[in-house]
Amino acid sequence: MYDDVAKLVDYVTTGSDRYGNRITTKEETEVYVQPRGVYSSEFYNASQLGHKPSVTFIMANREDYDEQPIIEYHGQEYSIIRVDWDAQRDEIQLVCEKRVKA
């Protein structure tokens, strides 16, 4: 069921160099997920807030999620715009929108 691998990503500022520039480190945690589409009601509700959700990732282990803002899946980064926990199934759902690379 959860046989696809994604990476939860967080960018952490670890200090600054000798010129005062911030040093940012990318921290990644591999997790097993099940991707699925976004329900139309979810899409319309989020679009009213300026979001464009494109995929939901379901994770079996909620302890793996530590409020990371980004998930990377097959080389594409997604911003996590909403998190739901289903207590009955003990799974977490990450509603995401595709990030545009600069």
The string of pLDDT tens digits covering residues 32-72 is 999 988 755 555 455 556 557 789 999 987 788 999 999 99
DSSP, res 3: -
Query: How many structural domains does the chain have?
Result: 1
Confidence category of residue 14, pLDDT binned at 50, 70, 90? confident
CA distance 29 to 8: 5
Q: How many CB atoms lie within 10 A of CB 92?
A: 20
pLDDT tens-place string over residues 70-84: 999 999 999 999 898
- Domain with residue 34: its CATH number is 2.40.10.270
Does residue 80 contact residue 72 with C-beta atoms inside 8 Å? Answer: no
Range of the structural domain that residue 15 is part of: 4-98
Give the model's pLDDT for residue 39.
58
